[in-house]
Amino acid sequence: MKPVKVPNADRNWHPIAQRLWDSLKTSGQADFYQNSDWAFAFSLCEDLSYYKKAGKRSGQMLQTIYSAFERLLVTEGDRRRVRIELTEPVPEQDSAAVVAIADYKKELGLAE
């Protein structure tokens, strides 16, 4: 797999676009984002910033931006629609070999 480079946010973005960008970087689905996903997310945050700073706002533009974010599976509802659930990593457990050896020792009466 090729290394992924996450671009820096634009300092001039609206605070809401900046917050969304920052949250994307720490969200579970970001582990699967490729460079093209980050470029797309960057473009959407740019659009969202423009929208939030605009004096006159279009409901259609906002809906288009939100629809595009759905393709990046940004919200839990977006992920559920495509049957993806993010879970916390399971702490490392003993391997099957270690468990088998422990069981064998127990059977021989050698276990503590």
- How far is residue 30's CA from residue 10's CA, in Å, rounded to a whole number? 19
pLDDT tens profile 5-39: 898 999 999 999 999 999 999 888 888 899 999 99
84/68: higher pLDDT? 68
Residue 47: the pLDDT is 96
Residue ranges per domain, the chain?
15-108
Is residue 66's pLDDT more than 80?
yes
Q: Where residue 105 falls among pLDDT bands split at 50, 70, 90?
A: low
30, 29, 16, 28: which is closest to 7 by C-alpha? 30
Virtual torsion, Cα 35, 40, 45, 51, nearest 10 deg:
170
